[in-house]
Amino acid sequence: MARSLRSLGGAATAAAAMYWFDPASGRRRRARLRDQLGRVVRNVRNAMEVGSRDLVNRLLGAAARTRSLFDTNVVDEVTLVERVRACLGRVVGHPGAIAVSAAGGRVILSGSILAEEYQRVMLAAALVHGVREVVDRLDVYSDSTGIPSLQGGRPLQSSSSALMRKRWSPATRLLAGTAGSALILWSLRNRGALGISGAVVGSTLLARSGSNVPLAQWLGIGRGNSVAVHKTLRVNAPVDQVFELLARYENFPLFMRNVRRVLTHPDGRSHWTVAGPAGVSFEWDAVTTRFEPNRLIAWRTVSSAVRHRGSIRLEAHNGGTRLEIQLSYAPPGGALGHALACVLGSDPKTELDEDLLRLKRFLESGKPARDAVRPIPSHRSMAGSHGINGGGA
């Protein structure tokens, strides 16, 4: 067993050395890794500064609330109304439908409210410091039908604990990251199951606080674990020319460096072969979900390990074309797999920026990227005849 592990470790070390010190691409990969590590260091430093300020502000707020418990002075009406309104904004979906007034510690609530929110509002108002009595003049409705002030609304803030929320506050991230780092250091000095458990918990806290992404999304478990990309591009080329190029998926290797081949089937599906990190290739089938000539193309993958969907919206803009690209994908391994792909030099967000610049250059000059997969087809003359040199994104 030990010999097998040593052999596996040696093979992994050799593969890593070949990847990072490859004569053709190793230098570029190492430079990209240095840039990414530098960005991580800057992000950690900024997160610690923001978290420290947030933690100090929260401690000062807690101290002020504690002092207020022993304050017997009557709160002035303006301050009391503002306190109540701030409190109602956290417990009701339509705070603008409730009018608040105060006099001598008595708070008067009037306006419209849904029955499901009534108890929360009354309790929250009564617990505000300085409130001695709550006068109820609210009109309670079972639903919002026919009540304009109760239409729409906004989602309420989560009432769960700080650690159970999807997005952690800067102070929570700072405390969790500090605790995770301490657990990892402690586990290095303790052997056995207890040390391993400490390392696992510490690594989990550190990863969760550093990414501010739920653990399920980190591991790619369940729904809502997609990585989203949204880009816009201005091209000095007519809308019909841009649409004609993008509507034929076979053209994508001309400007997308990692797209190796796209085959379109008679039933409308397309088969994609894409180069992934560390030289690994991925293949999937996609189907077009919306197709509006010169306006919109949308697609999604079918039966693929990499769940992916996207859309390209086109509109005429100052003689050229404005593109709005929206992509979302769920990489294998969730956000953890996405982070690993970034380290290996396959960050989809960065690559999309580079691909869009290739697309812009191709449409405006008719010249394909130097690293295009295959020679340019007859579309070259089409792009060159319509392309306009210059312009900006």
User: Under the phi-then-psi rule, with left for phi > 0, alpha for psi from -120 to 50, and beta for the rest, what region is 130?
Assistant: left
Please report the pLDDT score of residue 377 as a whole number.
43
Please report the pLDDT score of residue 209 as a whole number.
81
Please report the pLDDT score of residue 218 as a whole number.
56
Please report the pLDDT score of residue 338 as a whole number.
47
Q: Return the structure tokens found at 214.
A: 């739920």
Please report the pLDDT score of residue 282 as a whole number.
74
Please report the pLDDT score of residue 393 as a whole number.
32
3-class secondary structure for 276-310?
Answer: CHHHCEEEEEEEEEEEECCCEEEEEEECCCCEEEE
Per-residue confidence in pLDDT tens, the chain, 393 aa: 556 656 666 766 776 677 667 777 778 777 877 887 787 788 888 888 998 999 999 899 888 878 877 777 777 889 889 989 988 888 888 888 899 999 888 899 999 999 988 998 999 889 888 888 999 999 999 888 888 888 876 666 555 556 666 778 888 888 988 998 999 999 888 878 888 888 888 888 887 787 776 666 555 544 444 567 788 889 999 999 899 988 888 888 888 777 788 888 887 788 888 776 555 677 888 888 999 999 999 988 886 566 778 899 999 988 899 999 887 766 554 444 444 444 444 556 667 777 788 888 888 887 766 655 544 344 433 333 333 333 333
- C-alpha 6: how far from its chain's center? 39
Q: What is the DSSP pairing of strand 106-114 with strand 133-141?
A: parallel
The residues, any chain, with a CB within 8 Å of residue 328's CB and separated by 6 or more, are 226, 227, 228, 229, 308, 309, 310
| 333 touches 227 (CB < 8 A) | no
Find tokens 């250091």 and name the residue: 185
Burial of residue 230 (number of CB atoms within 10 Å: 0-12, 13-18, 19+)? exposed
Question: Which helix (H) or strand (E) segment is 328 a member of?
Answer: strand 320-330
| 363 touches 242 (CB < 8 A) | yes
User: Under the phi-then-psi rule, with left for phi > 0, alpha for psi from -120 to 50, and beta for the rest, what region is 268?
Assistant: left
Tell me which DSSP letter residue 75 carries.
Answer: P
Please report the pLDDT score of residue 378 as a whole number.
40
Rounded CA separation 235/245 (Å): 13
Rounded CA separation 310/275 (Å): 19
The residues, any chain, with a CB within 8 Å of residue 302's CB and separated by 6 or more, are 269, 284, 285, 286, 287
* Torsion (CA) 297, 302, 308, 314 in degrees, nearest 10: 0
Find tokens 């933690």 and name the residue: 55
